[in-house]
Each structure stands twice: as structure tokens, then as C-alpha cells.
């Protein structure tokens, strides 16, 4: 049987909502030449009645990244720019999991009540986007289902049932197939669709074609991009096609398997987020080529122009070692240009001696080519990481003896260690360290294809031997078509615009009140200046989702600022006083002026990310004092907000920066953090104790030692503060 999870989690409609505001925050309608902020219009199911968390608040901005434009006409058969556009996007949640969204953007009539309230010219149209949202990377079935919904809506023949009834049936009843075991068949009106996922023993599910990647970039540019991603550079993809940005981003993430991209991942960034390109930490982002980037420095950014097969960067990307580079380039060329590579080969049947990749490449591009391309890159990793398992050493801070590994490779290749700059940088990346950590977790990483491939190669077997030789036919699961009560056979439902879902009384009342307020204001003060969104009363007029989306943008903006300020604080010269610096003052202001704690938690997260990226926590005495004061401020303000998670994270970061000598943790707490009031708060101990019980069992011995040292000091302060002795006994019992 298929799993209880569903392929389609939400159907969402985004576009021009009842609260209109321009991209720069100006409220109201300001003419057709202005671009407007997209908003949620409809969705199924409603967030309060769903099995899944609600769609992310930034979804409208992401699915319509250029904003909403207002038009005087609809589709023009002679103007391609007016055609509907179908494209996928990928969002990343805080825990690193991905949300996959299939989108169709098109021009649709603006609702009459909005036209009347805002005095928009009659018969106007605006950008609208319909979406299927899922946590499953079933790109093709998401697209096929969405396009069928769109065709049904605007087909002259109409559909046999009300459109939203069809949507609700698909979202509510189509299960996610069990990998390698099920094939789910379902119908949208009279169109039969199917979904299945590969067995877990195969390469990770990638329901995309890799052909756009190899068509946009030649082999050398592809290898250059692959190297830059592997070394965790700042990557900016440019294209005038949203689909290309997403497909290339996803394809390159699959080609670095078994490594996982660990940093910011935004395949399509909204136009107003161009400033995020200045972020100093690694990222992979895609930006429409029509967006101006003249205001950002691009220093050190690897810019990949997919339209012109061009890569530019101000920093050198160390090349892959010659032997592995030659293998990678040769195998890719063999796959892409078989008629050239094999021009001297005899055209006879060699049986088992035949080259599988050459036989595959003689056909038009398909799933076999996608598989072969991924296998080529996996074979590359098997070569460049040859023997790596012999150098895993959990006693070392990184868990890997890099020096010994490089020396062994130097002897094997007869090349000096100094010539292995690319490998030296690679084994220091967060992606490689994450891979080592997963290798140590046998339960999470039961299907390590890299290890299997290295073992098979050592036995002289074909790379294909690592995959199951026989896969049973999947069980067919058919989802019955819906029977709509009261629906008469032969009736057809036709629409001139995408219909609105039925609203609750509360939703309808809210919409009417918003538009009545707008209509009244426009009649009373027809020429009143627009109000810019920046805080105060205007924020109160935002819907909860708009406030959440605004907060998401604000959080990202603050984090980018903090990252830059933090790095500049660490680079201050020996003669500069950190406490008197602009960087210290600005970070302090961001922490103190933010009532929601974004500045404090963001600063702590900034330090933690820097530590995880390899920072050795080297601080001068003056820098140490400055960082200590900033952390104390963040902890104090978090305590006043009952924000135990930020307090916990700040204390962990404090201990981590003092970790060179675990005994010093007690000294650090006593000398530098003793004055904090948090030790006297019972709610802190309650939350911290619960956190430790959940997390300590999965941590290393060094980590537990550190935490124990903290607890001894903290417990002492509890006794002095005469807190609950039961908690003292429980904590010391760890």
C-alpha cells in the first residue's frame, strides 16, 4: 500500500488581493506602470484544516518574484509575452527541508469589487499564479496535474465537475507512492496521470531532466560550476527563464551527491531581494537576468549566465586534479557527443564488452542519460575520495585525518600536497563534514552508494553492480474518481476567469470591510498621498500572512547585515578598539532595538554558522570582551522575552568559543556570565533541562563533557539562588 503522506499538500492561488500595495510599500493603486506585491488569494485546504504546516508566508513573493503587473488586455496570440508561463520553484525551510512548488502564471481579470474599491480601470487584468505545493520532489506529476487543472478551467468544453471540487479531490486523495513498490494512478476529469518513486537503493529521487544543464553550459563550464558548488562558493545563476534557474539549481545539487548543499538555497530570488547577493556566506541563488544588479558589488560571487554559457568571478576556483578532471571531462563528452568520441570505433556488437554510456548516448536524451550523467559524477567522487574511510578518526575535532589522507594521495599520484588545493579546500567544507557525520550514523545513511561503488570497483565489477539487478513490478494503486453530490451527468462547468474558492463568512466579512475602508477613503480623500510601509499604524493593516512574509524578509535582511558586521568586527586592526567600533555599535543596536529578538538570535546564529564553517574561535582580548558583551545583551533581552531557545543557543556558542580547554568553561561562566539574571529563572532550567534530555544522547563525548561542565557551574548558582532542589537533582543526574 502507498504511504499515508500525500503528493499534493496544498493548492494555492496568489495574485492581487484586496489589500493592494506596491513593491516599495506604497498602499493603494498607483497606475498600471507600477508593480504590486503578490498576496495569497485562495487555497485548499485552509491552513486550520490541513494535515501539514501552512504554506510559507513568503510563497506569493516567490511564485511571482517580479511582482504583480496590471494590464489592459489578456492573452494575445501574436504576443508570446502574454502567454501563460509554467515553471517550478523550490523553497528551503529552516531545518533544511525543501518545499517543491509547481506554478502557472497568467493574466486573469481583476475582481469587480477590487476594481470598484481602488478605482482601477474596468476590464483590467493582473498576474495570477496557481500552484501545487508538496514536500515530495515529484516535479513532473506536479506540473502535469497543474497544467490539466489550468486547461480544464479555460477549455471551451469546460469540466464535468466544479473546478474546486476536482482540486479538493486530488489534494485530499492522492497518496505518495512507497519508493520502488507502488504506482499511483489518478484522474483529473478525463486525464489519467500516474506517480511513482524509485527504490531507496537507487540514487535519490530526481524527477527532473538534466538536459537543460548540459545544453546551457559546455563541458568545461559545467565542471567549473560543479567545482565552485563543491567548494561552497557564492553562486548566482542568471537566466530569463524561471524554469532554467530551478532545474539547473536542482540538477547541480544532485550531481554533487553524496555531498549535500548546506547553505542558503534560493533557486529563484524575488526581484526586491537583490541586496542578498552581498551576503558574505556561501549561497546558491538564481536571479532573472532582467533584474538590475548594478547596486551590488558581486565581489567574489561566481556568476553563471545560462543564456550565454558564461561564468565570471573575481576569485580563482582551484581546478580539479588532472587525473580526475580528465576522467570527468572524457566521460561527459562520451555521453554528450558519442558520434565524435566514438568516430573511430567499429560498429559491431561486442556483447558484454560494449560501452553502456555510448549505447545510451546514441538515443535522444531521456532518463537513461540523466542516470548515466549522475553515475559519472558518482564515479568521480569514488576516485577523488579513494580510501577516505581509512582516515575517519572521531577522536579529531573534524572526524577526519586530512593531513594523512593528503599524504597518502600524494604518494599514490606522485604529486606534492601543495598541488592539491582543490582537495584541501573540499575536505574542509561543511558539505564534506556533514557527509562524514552521516557516515557515522548508520541508521540514517544505510544506503551509501559511494562506499558500495568503491568496493565494487575494487572487486573489478561494473558500476551498475551497486544497484539492484531486479526490481519487481510496482503494485498499481488506483484512486477512484470523485462523485460530487448533486452533480448531474452531462453538465459542464465553464469559466471566463479562474474561479474563487468558497469563502467562510469570516473571510467574506473581512474582505468586504477591507474594500469598504479602501472605497470610503478613496471617496473622501481622492488625492491623499500614499503611505509607505515602514512600521506603526500601517503594519496593523497587514493581514497575518502579509505580516509573516514581511517578517521573513526582515529576518533575512537583518541576518545579512549581521554576517557582514560580524566578519568586519573580526578583521579590525590591532590598534582599533572593538568596543568603540562602528561594527560593535551597529550589532548592539540591532540586538537592542528589536523587540522580537531577531537581532539577538540572528547574531548567535551568525557566530554558530561561522564556527561550523571552520572558524577556530581565535579572538584578541579586546574582541573577546566585545563579543562577550554582545552575547550578554542578547541573553539578557532573550530572558526578558522568555526566549529560552536563544538563551540556550547563546550559552552553547559561548562554550564553543571557549572549548579549547573544557575546564575553562566553568571559569567563563563564573567570570563573564555570572551577573546574568537568567540563573534565577526557573523557566530557564525547565526549558534547558528538557533540551538536554532530548539532545545529549546524540552528541559526542566532548560535547557532553562541555555541557556537564556548564551544568556543574549552573547547578552551583541554583543552590546559591535557592531554587528548586528537585531540578538540581535531576540535572546532576544526567
Q: Which CATH number covers residue 155?
A: 3.30.450
Q: State whether 368 and 474 are in the same domain.
A: yes
Residue at 342 is within a domain: yes
Residue at 89 is within a domain: yes
What pLDDT was estimated at residue 699?
A: 46
Query: For residue 127, what are the β-bridge partners?
Result: 107
What pLDDT was estimated at residue 636?
A: 80
What is the spatial distance between Cα 143 and Cα 195, in angstroms, rounded to a whole number? 12
Which conformational region is residue 26 in: left (phi greater than 0), alpha (psi within -120 to 50 degrees), or beta? beta
Q: State whether 695 and 670 are in the same domain.
A: no
Q: State whether 50 and 101 are in the same domain.
A: yes
Q: State whether 600 and 712 are in the same domain.
A: no
What pLDDT was estimated at residue 503?
A: 83
The 3-state DSSP class for residue 267 equals: coil
Last residue of a domain, one of 454, 480, 506: 480
Residue 98's nearest CA partner among 198, 234, 206 is 206
Alpha helices, H only, 186-321: 211-216, 219-230, 242-255
Total count of domains within the chain:
4
Per-residue cell: 551: 517578517
Residue at 271 is within a domain: no
Residue at 213 is within a domain: yes
Residue at 5 is within a domain: no
Q: State whether 729 and 606 are in the same domain.
A: no
Q: State whether 428 and 575 are in the same domain.
A: no
Element (H, E) at 302: strand 302-305
Residue at 275 is within a domain: no
The segments of the chain whose pLDDT lies below 50 read 1-3, 350-354, 356, 361, 486, 523-540, 660-670, 698-707, 709, 712-713, 715-734
What pLDDT was estimated at residue 359?
A: 52
What pLDDT was estimated at residue 690?
A: 57
The residue range of the domain holding 158 is: 10-176
Q: State whether 202 and 148 are in the same domain.
A: no
Last residue of a domain, one of 642, 659, 680: 680
Q: What is the DSSP letter of 207?
A: -
Residue at 608 is within a domain: yes
What pLDDT was estimated at residue 722?
A: 41
What is the spatial distance between Cα 363 and Cα 361, in angstroms, rounded to a whole number? 5
Last residue of a domain, one of 461, 480, 499: 480
Q: What is the pLDDT of residues 176-198, one digit of tens each?
A: 998 888 899 999 988 899 999 88
Q: State whether 642 and 717 are in the same domain.
A: no
Q: What is the pLDDT of residues 115-156, one digit of tens each?
A: 999 999 999 999 999 999 999 999 999 999 999 999 999 998
Residue at 523 is within a domain: no
Q: State whether 16 and 130 are in the same domain.
A: yes
Q: State whether 387 and 463 are in the same domain.
A: yes
* 201 C-beta neighbours (distance < 10 Å), count: 15
Q: State whether 116 and 229 are in the same domain.
A: no
What is the spatial distance between Cα 11 and Cα 9, in angstroms, rounded to a whole number? 7
At how many degrees (to 10) do helices 725-732 and 701-721 cross?
A: 160
Q: State whether 699 and 668 are in the same domain.
A: no
φ, ψ of residue 436 to 5 degrees: the values are: -60, -40
Amino acid at each position: 500500500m502507498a504511504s499515508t503522506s500525500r503528493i499534493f499538500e496544498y493548492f494555492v492561488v496568489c495574485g492581487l488581493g484586496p489589500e493592494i500595495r506596491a513593491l516599495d510599500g506604497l498602499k493603494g493603486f498607483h497606475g498600471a506602470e507600477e508593480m504590486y506585491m503578490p498576496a495569497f488569494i485562495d487555497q485548499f485546504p485552509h491552513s486550520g484544516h490541513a494535515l501539514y504546516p501552512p504554506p510559507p508566508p513568503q510563497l506569493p513573493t516567490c511564485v511571482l518574484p517580479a511582482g504583480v503587473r496590471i494590464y489592459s488586455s489578456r492573452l494575445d496570440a501574436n504576443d508570446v509575452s502574454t502567454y501563460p508561463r509554467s515553471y517550478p520553484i523550490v523553497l528551503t525551510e529552516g531545518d533544511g527541508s525543501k518545499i517543491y512548488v509547481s506554478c502557472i502564471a497568467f493574466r486573469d481579470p481583476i475582481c469587480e469589487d477590487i476594481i470598484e474599491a481602488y478605482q482601477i480601470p474596468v476590464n483590467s487584468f493582473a498576474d495570477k499564479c496557481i500552484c501545487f505545493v508538496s514536500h515530495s520532489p515529484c516535479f513532473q506529476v506536479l506540473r502535469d496535474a497543474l497544467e490539466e487543472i489550468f486547461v480544464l478551467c479555460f477549455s471551451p468544453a469546460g469540466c464535468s465537475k466544479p473546478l474546486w471540487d476536482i482540486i479538493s479531490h486530488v489534494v485530499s486523495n492522492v497518496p505518495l507512492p512507497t519508493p520502488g513498490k507502488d504506482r499511483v494512478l489518478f484522474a483529473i476529469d478525463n486525464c489519467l496521470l500516474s506517480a511513482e518513486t524509485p527504490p531507496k537503493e537507487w540514487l535519490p529521487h530526481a524527477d527532473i531532466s538534466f538536459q537543460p544543464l548540459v545544453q546551457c553550459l559546455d563541458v568545461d563550464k559545467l565542471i567549473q560550476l560543479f567545482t565552485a558548488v563543491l567548494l561552497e562558493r557564492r553562486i548566482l545563476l542568471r537566466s530569463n527563464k524561471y524554469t532554467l534557474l530551478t532545474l539547473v539549481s536542482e540538477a547541480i545539487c544532485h550531481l554533487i551527491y553524496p555531498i549535500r548543499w548546506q547553505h542558503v538555497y534560493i533557486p529563484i530570488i524575488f526581484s526586491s531581494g537583490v541586496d542578498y547577493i552581498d551576503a558574505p556566506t556561501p549561497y546558491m541563488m538564481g536571479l532573472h537576468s532582467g533584474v538590475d544588479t548594478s547596486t551590488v558589488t558581486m565581489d567574489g560571487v561566481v556568476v553563471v549566465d545560462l543564456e550565454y554559457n558564461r561564468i565570471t568571478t573575481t576569485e580563482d576556483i582551484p581546478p580539479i586534479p588532472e587525473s580526475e578532471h580528465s576522467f570527468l571531462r572524457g566521460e561527459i563528452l562520451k555521453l554528450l557527443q558519442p558520434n565524435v568520441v566514438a568516430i573511430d570505433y567499429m560498429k559491431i556488437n561486442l556483447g558484454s564488452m560494449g560501452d553502456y554510456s555510448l549505447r545510451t548516448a546514441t538515443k535522444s536524451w531521456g532518463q537513461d542519460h540523466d542516470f548515466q550523467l549522475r553515475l559519472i559524477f558518482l564515479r568521480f567522487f569514488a576516485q577523488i575520495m579513494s580510501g577516505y574511510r581509512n582516515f575517519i578518526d572521531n577522536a579529531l575535532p573534524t572526524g577526519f585525518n586530512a593531513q594523512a589522507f593528503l599524504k597518502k594521495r600524494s604518494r599514490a599520484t606522485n604529486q606534492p600536497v601543495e598541488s592539491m588545493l582543490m582537495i584541501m579546500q573540499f575536505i574542509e567544507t561543511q558539505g564534506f563534514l556533514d557527509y562524514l557525520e552521516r557516515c557515522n550514523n548508520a541508521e540514517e545513511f544505510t544506503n551509501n552508494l559511494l562506499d558500495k561503488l568503491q568496493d565494487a570497483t575494487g572487486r573489478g565489477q561494473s558500476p551498475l553492480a551497486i544497484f539492484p539487478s531486479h526490481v519487481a513490478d510496482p503494485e498499481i494503486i488506483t484512486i477512484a474518481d470523485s462523485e460530487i453530490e448533486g452533480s448531474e451527468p452531462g453538465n459542464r462547468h465553464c469559466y471566463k476567469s479562474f474561479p474563487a474558492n468558497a469563502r467562510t463568512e469570516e473571510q467574506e466579512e473581512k474582505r468586504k470591510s477591507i474594500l469598504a475602508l479602501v472605497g470610503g477613503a478613496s471617496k473622501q480623500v481622492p488625492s491623499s498621498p500614499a503611505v509607505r510601509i515602514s512600521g506603526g499604524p500601517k503594519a496593523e493593516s497587514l493581514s497575518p500572512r502579509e505580516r509573516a512574509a514581511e517578517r521573513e524578509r526582515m529576518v533575512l535582511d537583518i541576518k545579512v547585515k549581521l554576517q557582514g558586521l560580524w566578519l568586519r568586527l573580526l578583521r579590525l586592526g590591532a590598534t582599533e578598539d572593538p568596543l568603540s567600533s562602528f561594527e560593535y555599535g551597529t550589532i548592539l543596536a540591532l540586538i537592542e532595538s528589536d523587540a522580537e529578538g531577531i537581532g539577538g538570535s540572528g547574531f548567535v546564529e551568525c557566530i554558530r554558522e561561522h564556527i561550523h564553517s571552520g572558524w577556530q574561535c581565535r579572538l584578541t582580548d579586546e574582541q573577546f570582551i566585545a563579543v562577550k558583551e554582545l552575547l550578554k545583551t542578547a541573553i539578557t533581552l532573550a530572558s526578558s522575552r522568555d526566549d529560552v531557545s536563544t538563551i540556550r543557543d547563546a550559552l552553547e556558542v559561548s562554550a564553543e568559543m571557549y572549548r579549547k580547554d573544557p575546564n575553562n568553561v566553568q571559569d567563563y561562566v563564573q567570570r563573564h556570565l555570572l551577573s546574568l539574571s537568567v540563573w534565577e529563572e526557573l523557566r530557564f532550567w525547565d526549558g534547558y533541562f528538557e533540551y538536554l534530555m532530548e539532545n545529549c544522547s546524540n552528541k559526542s563525548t566532548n560535547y557532553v563533557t562541555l555541557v556537564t561542565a556548564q551544568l556543574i557551574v549552573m547547578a552551583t548558582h541554583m543552590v546559591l539562588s535557592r531554587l528548586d532542589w528537585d531540578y538540581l537533582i535531576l540535572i546532576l543526574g544526567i
